[in-house]
Amino acid sequence: MNVIELNGLTKTYGGARGIADLSFTVEQGEIFGFIGPNGAGKSTTIRTMLGLIHPTSGSAKIFGKDCLRYGPELRREIGYLPSEVFYYDNMKVKDLLNYSASFYNKDSRKRMLALAERMELDLNKKIDDLSLGNKKKVGIVQGLLHEPKLIILDEPTSGLDPLMQQRFFELLEEENKKGATILFSSHILSEVQRLCDRVAIIKEGRLIALEKISDLKGRTYKKFKLQMKAGSDATPFAIPGVTEWKTAPNGEVSFLYQGDINDILRRIASLELLNLWVEEPDLEEIFMHYYVSREGAGV
């Protein structure tokens, strides 16, 4: 079953680009990464999905229901962590969380205590006195309090230290095992690599790729680094499939390659080399390729 379904979703802000013609689905039980550089349109997409802003055209459905028409009903089933959290600073953490819990027909007290303990959040502190990372934890507990079926996280880890990030990821994995579907928006690519099954890549408001993480990592790209003898000719590498071409003053050359591995090895064999390395690129390097250009060789 599709938990999220976007069809040609478009939002312009007074003529300026927000998002354009976005279509993708997220299935029940997935941890889905939503990746893009700053200003790509991630928050706009999420706010439209939550029924908080009106799309200019196209539609967004959650659990098969239109996000605008059924907004309030759907939001009860969603845990949302916005990229920036704002609170009434004078409140105590527990008062805020109890207030949030009162919107749902569940007794969330036990869950609140368990989540707060897990995330080392002091419920008796005033929100005013909390650091940025601790405020983020309030948002996390608030978002997960009602055991939502869909968890939408917009840049969730900013401000969390590495230990807390780890705890948070474990928590998300547990929620996912219990059946929650998760949409995780980020520009930090290693997070997506660690947690997600599939990823949508968005750039300048448009979807530019939709991939399984395993496909992205496994078969598509290899990273070559080679040290050529001085004065060697690099033209054998001016072929489609070679991107991210970089040269260093010591004659070292590196590039990403996508294509028939025999083809590139024959070209390498035609050169006089001092050294050669073949590595798995990390996702960062692969995504950079998407961000910068989708065409041709970089030689």
Ligand X SMILES: Nc1ncnc2c1ncn2[C@@H]1O[C@H](COP(=O)(O)OP(=O)(O)OP(=O)(O)O)[C@@H](O)[C@H]1O
List residues near ligand X by CB under 6 A: 13, 16-18, 36, 38-44, 83, 187
Nearer to ligand X, 16 or 163 (CB): 16
Is the CB of 146 or the CB of 203 nearer to ligand X?
A: 203
Tell me the closest approach of the beta carbon of residue 54 to ligand X, in angstroms: 12
Q: How far is the CB of 183 from ligand X (least distance, A)?
A: 13
End-to-end CA distance of the chain: 45
Q: Quote the least distance from Cβ 41 to ligand X, whole Å.
A: 4
Q: How far is the CB of 12 from ligand X (least distance, A)?
A: 9
Query: Between 31 and 201, whose beta carbon lies closer to ligand X?
Result: 201
Between 33 and 281, CB nearer to ligand X: 33
Q: Least distance in Å: CB of 49 to ligand X?
A: 12
Closest approach of Cβ 274 to ligand X, in Å? Answer: 42
Nearer to ligand X, 39 or 240 (CB): 39
Looking at the Cβ atoms of 41 and 156, the one nearer to ligand X is: 41
